[in-house]
A and B are shown apart, each in its own frame.
Chain A
Amino acid sequence: MILQVQGVTKRFGGLQALTQVTFDLPEGQILGLIGPNGAGKTTLFNVIDGVYAPEEGRVIFQGEDITGKKPYYLARKGLARTHQIVRPLNELSVRENVMVGACFGHANANLKQAAQIADEVLAFVGLEEKADQLASSLNVAQKKRLELARAIAAQPKLLLLDEVLAGLNPSEIAHMVETVRAIRDRGITIIMIEHVMSAIMNVSDRILVLDFGKLIAEGTPEEIAQNEKVIHAYLGDPKLAERLMQGE
């Protein structure tokens, strides 16, 4: 198991954001994380990567208890993530943005190696022509790719993707889904939060469903699409679920 989340509970004042969330993630899988807005998906990411410390429970990464460790410690250990709302380093060039990931993440590269990794990764995500532009000059789809490039450049063991498909048009989504698969094929385990159901049903090995901070279902995409609780809480129409499974 690359990641074990055991009974994690997180409160913000009176708001119960996560309640006793428990799951295991084997290496090499793509795990989808879905649920209605405000279900606690991003909060779960923030707990895993150390932005928030949970009130209860433990997070174990590669056998080490990392509960309450700082984000930079976890980045070094092999965790990387993208943000739902993109956070480019605006006044730095696209290449420099990616170099930050390579220098300070699990890759721990020096500047020269980092520049090499950056060019490689930028070609992989299709941003090589933008390498010398300032990150602020990119459009939203490109900024999403930049987030992804920074995370991959760290050469992580586990990658947390927070809605990398949101706001993209269908052809961009198809392109991004291919990219995510290619990342998994490099041996990187992935957890992805997504609202684009056809994509997540398609790409995930397993899916977790959160609702009001509780894990309400866990299983293969087929099982999830037919799970009554999930249909009730999130998918809505049972026929919609069937259609999704057919990849529309």
Chain B
Amino acid sequence: MRRRSGWSQRVVLGAAIATLGIATLGGCDPQDDDARDGDAAVPDARVTTHPVRSATPTREGLAYIEGVARIHGEADLADDIDTRAAALRRGLALPVPAELAEAEILRLELATRLGETLAPRAEGVAVALDLLEPMLDPERSLPLDRASARALVTLGDLATSAGDDALAVGSYARAIRVMSSLRKELER
């Protein structure tokens, strides 16, 4: 019994080790490794766009647009990066009125300008990437507008500064695809 029990224990232990090993190997998706390793990552050039809808003007919508314009004016007058960045952050914090389709573009423009403002600072690149990357996630549909293309180019520039070639190339390729769609719309 003792002997059998010893074998059983070994078999159980062996099976456990094997299962753990397979589970561990199975969890090691090469793509996961690539995503962590900047150099080996595959550029993600997926882009989905939607047409820009023009909303019926409302008092709240107009106030929001005027607020964003005022913020850009303040940013224009700012003497230093911090003041400009603070103004643009205030713009991004403005509550967006419901049903204002243009707000998507206005927010992209604010974020892009904030990213460009922060880019000259070494620590600013990471902050700007954290801001722009989720807004421009390949899973998200972007408005078919130059603002999307410009934001993607800025993301590409930031990624280049951060040494993330895959993100940079993917963003540039997506920017080109957006601009190409705009071009085809014009040529129709």
Chains A and B are bound partners: no
